[in-house]
Structure 1
């Protein structure tokens, strides 16, 4: 099998000033079927779901194209930005064929299909300002993707459409080594559609948080974080959660070897978490019980000392 690969890179750099880089690449690859896809071990523990093998499976053939451009500022106030586009198509993609008989029994068989497409665009931006001992930083990461997965349902060809948008941003302020304040934001939107006549299911999660770290005199450190999360999904009521944790520690002794630490977990007693995921034919929104509220006092001794003659 012919597996071509090619790439082209252009760079333009002035040391201490800026750095440009542009890349374009194309590569191919192939994966052979797994043994359990060719001859699946029959598990009869479930009377309503059976997996069968397919000895006629062929190896898939993947095409991957990527184009990216990045710029970096190399001076007192560093900054960078990167844009990337990626496209993947697969011939003879090994997908699922699900058949339901009149008793509701699901028979799953791997099959080769064509038409798999996966497109994505990524962006990253960072910027920093340094004034005396104070520093302000900002970072933004975002990704938008679209995927088409062909498969069979009751011997009919069906396409699963999945789309997603994610964005994460962080704004930070630090003063020397004594103080750090960070604002965090996250946006996650996922859509899933199974078949041309099906309804589009959507899940959206918005999360905003604040983190605070302070090193006070006499070995005292304060650390606190709070995050508010809003989740909304198709046919489900919206959910709002606020998780707040805090911690205080005190170092003592001539060499700061002893530490007393007080920890408060989930101060508002929400004890919940939200988990989202998606695959070819499902969009999952899961709300779980997290580690319950607790307050903990700990004592620690650090025998090792770094630096000096010890």
Structure 2
């Protein structure tokens, strides 16, 4: 009887150990699982994010790119939960989108400031622009207004100061050179170069078209305090603003290593915004 009790005790003990080991392994396996985060981006240039993505693997976070071609698509996808985050726009664009579409999307971290540029395959200097020249600018409210302000900074037009950051073509108060301004989808402004004398092109679109903004733009937007509204950001839904995984992504982006990649890939055309304008 004692032998039977002893054998039974050993069997129960072994079962307890086996069960404990099994639970421990399951827990370890759960901890090793990657959390997938869908990140919406515009265009094909993901060099900087590729570097961040590689480092995030060590934290069990897998970034999955969802690429868009239209500037309104990533916010719509974020609002309807098709994606988790997006990184393509500046704060002013986001504020305007939220107002127009009654969404509640928020910035959770600054990325870069990417100056808007004036490009041409017909002239080398903005001073050589002739009267009646054709000009292409983005057609959305924020980038269109920014483009007109850039043309004003370049000395080509004047706009109504009461319109602040959002002047439209109808707000031009002086156009001495009788420039013929055409509004296009931002993604089409680089392709329009063959049809116009100059085109105002967003940095990301210009890079995708093979340009180096600091070298190829005939006039580049100054990076100063006036550029603050145009700092690019990582955006989430408001209820996810403090999500720990998303905050880890922001932290991984805002590093010295990312700065190096930005400098190498943009050839100085993009400036790490968290150093100049703060982390958020």
- TM-score normalised over the length of structure 2: 0.21
Q: Which has the higher strand share?
A: 1
Q: Which has the higher helix share?
A: 2
Bigger relative contact order (CA 8 A; separation at least 6): 2
